[in-house]
């Protein structure tokens, strides 16, 4: 299996090379030359997420230097539960927030870290991993790489655009993690990361990779959520569930689309977005246009220029074809508030703002069986959630421990020069 750039398909690289580089030299994103097909029967007898992941990802690693270590990488990655809870009204909730930082990105980050630690075991110079975050990605990456050899991490997040608890999770790590609070928005952080990859000084003086979902090592393991959940439902009922996915940078929903393309029993896919509208506008008008990022209650989805949509447009360049693959719903802050407020009474659940977006989309969807993807624990957003539900939301045990750690962060302007000043020290 080889990977090519979304911008120039002439150079094909292995999955390990795609993971190490993060971004293609031409600025494009790595995608598989062709998605492998797997029959449902290929997963017969496999029950755990790590077993399903190893089988699902095996075709991507055939002939790769990591092929013989894939099972152990999956063993390292899938170490926490992913409950699929029935909440009534033909709806199940897939809880992806039981990892170290209480967000869905813990799995992709852990897989990437486990892969790179093996690939970098004998490297003379450490790999510098750049990651822009709108809230959850940076914390998951920092947790996954904290204390690992062979890699240094630089996390960029927008000042005033993350919750206090999110910021704590972004800034409580060890010596190989540098946290930078950027005077700008997420798109500024993302632009700085992409600029570093194109800058001669960074290319000549650092070995760079990225841990955003632009990295194939983050994207591929996220398919496991959808493979495992859909197989559980298929085995129980013979039904292909619809999935409703909170969507910002579009990596998580692309993982769902990839899993369905590979043959997993997945029905319709719906993206639930906040008031940042590039994706919904494209599906409506057929014209791709980026927007200035709008700050919303669902902060991890505050993205005006979603990077992974470049992959989506590569696979489905015709808007009518894409409309057959996926739909999208825009959810306002007022609607998020209302959904959180009535969550306990109507669903028996306390929703975080991102899952609340998905619940709104689910309520508008006529579906025999739908899975709502819950991407973050509500305790990460106490200032928003607790006044609406009129009660305290208990902090998960793993998060509570991190809240006690000392904070280390440097604030910079939203320029590559400012980031370079930190790196040169």
Tell me the per-residue pLDDT of 293-330, one tens digit each, with 9 for 90 and over. Answer: 899 999 989 999 999 999 999 999 999 999 999 999 99
d(CA 263, CA 40): 7
Does 110 reside within a domain?
Answer: no
Does 333 reside within a domain?
Answer: yes
3-state secondary structure of 272: strand
CA 71 vs CA 36, 42, 115: distances in Å: 19, 16, 11
Give the list of residues 6+ apart from residue 324 with CB closer than 8 angstroms, or none. none
Element (H, E) at 110: helix 105-119
Does 358 reside within a domain?
Answer: yes
Domain that residue 256 falls in = 80-102+219-392
Residue listed under structure tokens 């360049």? 317
Does 370 reside within a domain?
Answer: yes
Q: Where are the alpha helices (DSSP H) in 343-403?
A: 343-347, 353-363, 382-389, 397-403
Does 357 reside within a domain?
Answer: yes
Q: How many helices (H) and strands (E) does the chain have?
A: 20, 13
C-alpha closest to that of 31 among 55, 13, 58: 13
pLDDT tens profile 31-68: 999 999 999 999 999 999 999 999 999 999 999 999 99
C-alpha closest to that of 353 among 280, 399, 404, 295: 295
Give the list of residues 6+ apart from residue 351 with CB closer than 8 angstroms, or none. 339, 340, 343, 359, 374, 378, 385
pLDDT value of residue 425:
61
**Residue 98's domain is classified under what CATH number?**
3.40.50.1100
d(CA 15, CA 115): 11
Does 124 reside within a domain?
Answer: no
Q: What angle do CA 81, 83, 87 make, to 5 degrees?
A: 165
CA 118 vs CA 56, 126, 237, 336: distances in Å: 20, 12, 40, 42
Residue ranges of the chain with per-residue pLDDT less than 50 = none
Give the 3-state secondary structure percentages of the chain, helix then strand then coil, rounded to 5.
45, 15, 40
Give the global pTM. 0.91
**How many domains would you assign to the chain?**
1
Element (H, E) at 186: helix 186-198
Q: What are the phi and psi torsion angles at 169 (to 5°)?
A: -70, -20
Does 238 reside within a domain?
Answer: yes
Q: Name the β-bridge partners of 370.
A: 91, 242
d(CA 317, CA 97): 33
Element (H, E) at 328: strand 327-330
C-alpha closest to that of 16 among 68, 55, 56, 54: 68
CA 79 vs CA 51, 72, 95, 103: distances in Å: 12, 12, 14, 14
Does 183 reside within a domain?
Answer: no
């Amino acid at each position: 299996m080889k990977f090519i750039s979304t911008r120039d398909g002439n150079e094909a690289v292995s999955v390990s090379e795609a993971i190490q580089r993060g971004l293609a030299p031409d600025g494009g994103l790595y995608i598989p030359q062709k998605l492998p097909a797997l029959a449902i029967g290929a997963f017969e007898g496999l029950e755990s997420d790590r077993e399903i992941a190893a089988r699902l990802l095996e075709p991507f690693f055939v002939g790769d230097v990591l092929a013989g270590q894939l099972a152990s990488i999956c063993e390292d990655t899938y170490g926490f539960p992913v409950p699929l809870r029935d909440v009534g009204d033909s709806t199940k909730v897939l809880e992806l927030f039981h990892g170290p930082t209480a967000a869905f990105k813990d799995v992709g980050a852990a897989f990437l870290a486990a892969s790179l630690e093996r690939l970098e075991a004998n490297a003379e110079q450490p790999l510098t991993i750049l990651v822009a975050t709108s809230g959850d990605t940076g914390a998951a990456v920092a947790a996954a790489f904290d204390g690992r050899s062979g890699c240094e991490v630089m996390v960029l997040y927008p000042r005033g655009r993350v919750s206090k608890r999110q910021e704590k999770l972004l800034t409580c790590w060890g010596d190989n993690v540098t946290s930078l609070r950027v005077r700008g928005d997420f798109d500024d952080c993302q632009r700085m990361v992409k600029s570093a990859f194109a800058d001669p000084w960074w290319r000549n003086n650092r070995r760079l990779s990225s841990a955003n979902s632009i990295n194939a090592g983050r994207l591929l393991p996220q398919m496991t959520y959808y493979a495992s959940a859909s197989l559980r439902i298929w085995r129980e009922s013979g039904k292909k569930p619809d999935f409703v996915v909170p969507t910002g940078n579009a990596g998580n929903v692309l993982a769902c689309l990839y899993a369905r393309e590979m043959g997993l029993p997945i029905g319709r896919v719906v993206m639930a977005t906040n008031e940042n509208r590039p994706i919904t506008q494209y599906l409506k008008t057929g014209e791709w246009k980026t927007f200035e990022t709008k700050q919303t209650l669902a902060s991890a989805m505050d993205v005006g220029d979603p990077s992974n949509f470049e992959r989506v447009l590569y696979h489905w360049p015709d808007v009518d074809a894409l409309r057959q693959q996926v739909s999208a719903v825009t959810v306002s802050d007022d609607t998020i508030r209302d959904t959180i407020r009535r969550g306990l009474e109507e669903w028996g659940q306390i929703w975080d703002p991102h899952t609340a977006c998905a619940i709104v989309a689910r309520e508008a969807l006529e579906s025999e069986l739908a899975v709502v993807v819950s991407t973050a624990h509500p305790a990460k957003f106490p200032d928003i959630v607790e006044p609406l539900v009129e009660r305290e939301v208990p902090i998960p045990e793993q998060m509570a421990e991190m809240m006690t750690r000392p904070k280390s962060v440097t604030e910079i302007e939203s320029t590559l020069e400012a980031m370079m000043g930190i790196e040169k020290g």
